[in-house]
Amino acid sequence: MLRRVDIALDCADVDAQSDFWAEALGYERLGSAAQYRSLAAPAGGPKLILQQVPEAKAGKNRMHLDLIVDDVDREAARLEVLGAARVEPEPLVEHEITWVVMVDPEGNEFCVCSQ
C-alpha cells in the first residue's frame, strides 16, 4: 500500500538548488546527508529530495512540477528574481488554464499554472 510520494531532483549544486526550491515552494529545510538535501511543505504534501549527481542535465525533463498559483505572471516574476527563467516570453493558454514554462537555475523545466 502506498504511504506517500516524495519527489527527487538530481542536481549539480545541491546547496544552491535547495536554496532556490525552498524559496520557490515555501518549503522548509528538513536536513541533509552526504549528497542529499530534504525539503518539506510546512502544511504537508510531498517532500522534495535534492540529490547531487556528477553528470549534467541532458535533454528535456520527462516529468516536471506544476506550481498552481493565483497569479501566474506575478509568481513567474518572483521566480525569475530567485534565478528561474521563462522558456517562452508569453504565457500559454489551453482549456481555460494559463501557464508559463520555466526552468530552474540548472535548467530543470517546471510550469507555473493558474488554478
Q: What is the pLDDT of residues 29-86, one digit of tens each?
A: 999 999 999 999 998 889 999 999 999 888 888 899 999 999 999 999 999 999 999 9
The per-type count for the chain, helices as H runs and strands as E runs, is 2, 9
> What are residue 61's phi and psi, to 5 degrees?
-60, 145
Q: 86 with 79: CB under 8 angstroms?
A: no
Q: Cell numbers of 58, please? A: 541532458
The fold of the 61-115 domain, in CATH, is 2,3-Dihydroxybiphenyl 1,2-Dioxygenase; domain 1 (3.10.180)
**Cα separation values, 6 from 11, 38, 83, Å:** 16, 10, 24
In the CATH scheme, what architecture does the domain 1-54 have? 2-Layer Sandwich (3.30)
Q: Could you tell me the residue ranges of all domains in the chain?
A: 1-54, 61-115
Answer whether residue 2 shows pLDDT above 80: no
- pTM, 2 dp: 0.91
How many other C-beta atoms lie within 10 A of the C-beta of residue 48? 23
